[in-house]
């Protein structure tokens, strides 16, 4: 597959939630497709999937509530995943289908970008192109995240799956609204932290991102299989990403000295904390320090959200 360097910057930044700025308008859910599950039914099915894979049911249920405000609605430690997750994606008997979110060149893939991690794939599009729901589901979040995803829609699907559509120019969907595969999610754009029009498409299982290539062949934009199979191996990258320490700045600390003491680099400390090498460190402030193994020292968005004050 042709790969271009065309960075979606959203995966690299600390982000704050903004306000939904899009105005209400027509919806694109086809009311004739009445076989979709209701929000309650989706949630029941979703919670059922939690019970199937976690030994501590209560913890799982408590930590993954339906939240229409936060993109990251809860996080489960998928290293505790005790079984192989098999998620049916399409079922013609139940009229459950798949639709490509948008078909074009992938400009950036899931994975490491320098010291940071890109949690989805970027698909090139032009502003105003139609972005479509990949599967049946219920809109959980619609918001404007000015420093990150931009205008973003999060759709929860059955089986613990979620898909995220970022950098949209417009959407008319609202939380709790049912969508079918192929329904319009919104129009493509470059809102949020983005350097050009593209769709940031992310897939998550029980709140944790996994490589969308696991389910979609981005050469043909078809499903690789009718059933998505995930194991803890799909999430081992997270364990490496989370090897982060915090340093409380003391008198006399310099970036150079900290880099030497922690066996890391000034550049990595700067990247993790969004500071430059000339930033004056504030005594008592916190600095994120990456793994002592720089080659694996990536950070998650969640850790970046706990941005230390400098």
Q: Which residues bind Zn ion (CB under 5 A)?
A: 8, 122, 200
Residues 6+ apart with CB under 8 A from 28: 172, 173, 183, 184
Nearer to Zn ion, 122 or 145 (CB): 122
Least CB distance from residue 113 to Zn ion, whole Å? 9
Closest to Zn ion by CB, 133 vs 199, is: 199
Q: How far is the CB of 30 from Zn ion (least distance, A)?
A: 29
Shortest reach from residue 11's CB to Zn ion, in Å = 5
Structure tokens at 34: 């009445």
**Residue nearest Zn ion, CB atom distance:** 8
* CB-nearer residue toward Zn ion: 8 or 299: 8
Beta-bridge partner residues of 154: 141, 164
For residue 281, the 8-state DSSP code is P
Q: Say how far apart CA 113 and CA 13 lie, in whole Å.
A: 12
Nearest distance, CB of residue 296 and Zn ion, angstroms: 21
State the Cα–Cα distance between residues 152 and 139, nearest whole angstrom: 11
Helix (H, G, I), strand (E, B) or coil at 30: coil
Give the sign of the dihedral formed by CA 209, CA 171, CA 196, CA 67. negative
d(CA 191, CA 180): 25
| Minimum CB distance to Zn ion smaller for 122 or for 136 | 122
Q: Give the three-class secondary structure for 97.
A: coil
To the nearest whole angstrom, how small is the minimum distance from the Cβ of residue 124 to Zn ion? Answer: 11
Q: Which is nearer to Zn ion, 148 or 182 (CB)?
A: 148
């Amino acid at each position: 597959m042709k790969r271009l360097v065309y960075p979606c910057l959203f995966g690299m930044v600390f982000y704050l939630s903004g306000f939904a700025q899009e105005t209400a308008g027509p919806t694109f859910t086809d009311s004739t497709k009445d076989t979709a599950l209701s929000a309650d039914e989706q949630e029941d099915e979703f919670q059922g999937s939690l019970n199937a894979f976690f030994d501590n049911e209560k913890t799982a249920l408590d930590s993954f509530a339906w939240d229409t405000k936060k993109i990251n609605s809860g996080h489960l430690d998928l290293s505790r995943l005790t079984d192989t997750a098999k998620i049916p994606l399409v079922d013609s008997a139940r009229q459950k289908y798949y639709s490509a979110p948008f078909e074009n060149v992938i400009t950036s893939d899931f994975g490491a970008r320098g010291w940071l991690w890109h949690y989805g794939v970027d698909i090139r599009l032009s502003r105003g192109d139609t972005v479509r729901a990949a599967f049946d589901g219920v809109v959980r979040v619609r918001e404007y995240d000015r420093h990150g995803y931009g205008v973003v829609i999060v759709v929860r699907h059955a089986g613990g799956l979620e898909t995220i559509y970022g950098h949209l120019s417009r959407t008319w969907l609202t939380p709790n609204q049912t969508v079918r595969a192929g329904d319009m999610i919104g129009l493509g754009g470059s809102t949020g932290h983005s350097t050009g029009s593209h769709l940031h498409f992310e897939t998550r299982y029980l709140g944790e991102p996994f490589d969308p290539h696991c389910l979609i062949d981005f050469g043909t934009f078809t499903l690789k299989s009718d059933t998505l199979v995930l194991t803890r191996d799909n999430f081992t990258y997270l364990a490496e990403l989370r090897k982060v320490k915090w340093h409380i700045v003391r008198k006399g600390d310099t970036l150079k000295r900290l880099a030497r003491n922690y066996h890391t680099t000034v550049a990595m400390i700067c990247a993790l904390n969004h500071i430059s090498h000339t930033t004056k460190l504030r005594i008592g402030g916190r600095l994120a320090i990456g793994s002592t193994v720089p080659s694996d020292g990536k950070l998650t968005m969640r850790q970046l959200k706990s941005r230390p004050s400098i």
